[in-house]
């Protein structure tokens, strides 16, 4: 009879894939709710800790929810139902769902979210934009930079939209400017245009670009393509589910790994038509 798996076993695999040492200092990765010592019944992978994801975990009889975004970015003063964060924390505890998060460490690791985005956009000769401080991980780090077939910004933005199946994207820069070297940064990376420029990138593909960084990037001659936060990171769900199934298959546990289907981009777009 096989020894039952514990939450710790899955956590250890994920920690090897994306060690906490690769996370940014401000990032509260790791165990969010529960215990690593419980017997493992099933795993659900989700981009975010939401009430919908927690109910989805219960429907699949999963007692481990693995997310990209941590639940606790700010200190929680009370555990009640007044805020989405405290509601999710209470709900997870009541349901017996243990929650772990792998955030900037999953962005930075080899084959992680930035490598996944670079691959989806067809980048070649990919290297870290901000290499890891760990000399043992030369291919790890935040962001990636690589080459594409020479084109212009308008055509490349169109290709990005099609490759990522986007309804909408924004860009900063001359539509006709040449593009041959591309930087990517999953999540909110608009402030990294200086690093993109230093790496020789013609354009930085990222999300959550703010107004003043966009003005500064334009003045510095760096193009930006804003794909949104969700689109750049939702690929984490099927990819991490596949990685966990690969780990679970020889343990007879692969059928207990589930990819969340409840995640949605909260933004919707309205074409208001020409100004009057």
The yes-or-no verdict on residue 34 having pLDDT over 90 is yes
* Angle 121-127-130 from CA coordinates, rounded to 5°: 110
Interval 250-267: pLDDT, tens: 999 999 999 999 999 999
Percent of the chain with pLDDT over 70: 98
Interval 186-226: pLDDT, tens: 999 999 999 999 999 999 999 999 999 999 999 999 999 99
> In whole numbers, what is the pLDDT of the chain averaged over residues?
95
The yes-or-no verdict on residue 65 having pLDDT over 70 is yes
Instruction: For residues 154 and 139, give the distance between their C-alpha atoms in angstroms, rounded to a whole number.
Output: 30
Instruction: For residues 96 and 103, give the distance between their C-alpha atoms in angstroms, rounded to a whole number.
Output: 22
The pLDDT of residue 275 is 59
Handedness of CA 174, 178, 179, 181 (dihedral sign): negative
Neighbours of 246 (CB within 10 A): 12
The yes-or-no verdict on residue 272 having pLDDT over 80 is no
The pLDDT of residue 243 is 98
Tokens 């076993």 locate to: 9
Alpha helices in the chain (DSSP H): 7-17, 51-59, 84-95, 104-108, 113-120, 153-163, 193-198, 211-220, 229-233, 236-248
Beta bridge partners of 144: 128, 184
* Tokens of residue 191, six digits: 């402030």
> At the top level of CATH, which class does the domain 7-103+233-259 belong to?
alpha beta
The pLDDT of residue 104 is 97
Query: 3-class SS at 196?
Result: helix
Domain with CATH 3.40.1390.30 in the chain: 7-103+233-259, 110-227
Instruction: For residues 64 and 204, give the distance between their C-alpha atoms in angstroms, rounded to a whole number.
Output: 35
The pLDDT of residue 136 is 86
Give CATH superfamily name and number for 110-227: NIF3 (NGG1p interacting factor 3)-like (3.40.1390.30)
């Amino acid at each position: 009879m096989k020894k039952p798996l514990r939450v710790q076993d899955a956590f250890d695999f994920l920690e090897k894939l994306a060690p906490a040492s690769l996370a940014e200092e401000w990032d509260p990765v790791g165990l969010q709710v529960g215990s690593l010592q419980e017997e493992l019944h099933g795993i659900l992978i989700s981009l975010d800790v939401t009430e919908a994801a927690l109910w989805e975990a219960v429907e699949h009889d999963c007692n481990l929810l693995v997310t990209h975004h941590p639940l606790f970015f700010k200190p929680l003063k009370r555990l009640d139902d007044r805020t989405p964060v405290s509601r999710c924390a209470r709900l997870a505890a009541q349901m017996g769902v243990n929650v772990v998060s792998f955030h900037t460490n999953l962005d930075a690791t080899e084959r992680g979210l930035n490598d996944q985005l670079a691959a989806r956009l067809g980048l070649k000769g990919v290297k870290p934009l901000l290499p890891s401080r760990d000399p043992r991980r030369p291919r790890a780090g935040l962001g990636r930079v690589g080459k594409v077939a020479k084109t212009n910004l308008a055509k490349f933005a169109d290709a990005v939209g099609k490759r990522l199946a986007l309804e909408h994207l924004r860009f900063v820069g001359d539509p006709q400017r040449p593009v041959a070297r591309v930087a990517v940064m999953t999540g909110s990376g608009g402030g990294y245009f200086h690093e993109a420029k230093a790496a020789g990138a013609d354009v930085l593909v990222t999300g959550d670009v703010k107004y003043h960084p966009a003005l500064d990037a334009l003045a510095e001659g760096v193009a930006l393509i804003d794909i949104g936060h969700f689109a750049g990171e939702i690929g984490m769900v099927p990819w991490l589910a596949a990685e966990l199934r690969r780990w679970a298959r020889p343990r007879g546990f692969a059928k207990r790994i589930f990819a969340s289907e409840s995640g949605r981009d909260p933004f919707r777009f309205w074409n208001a038509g020409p100004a009057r």
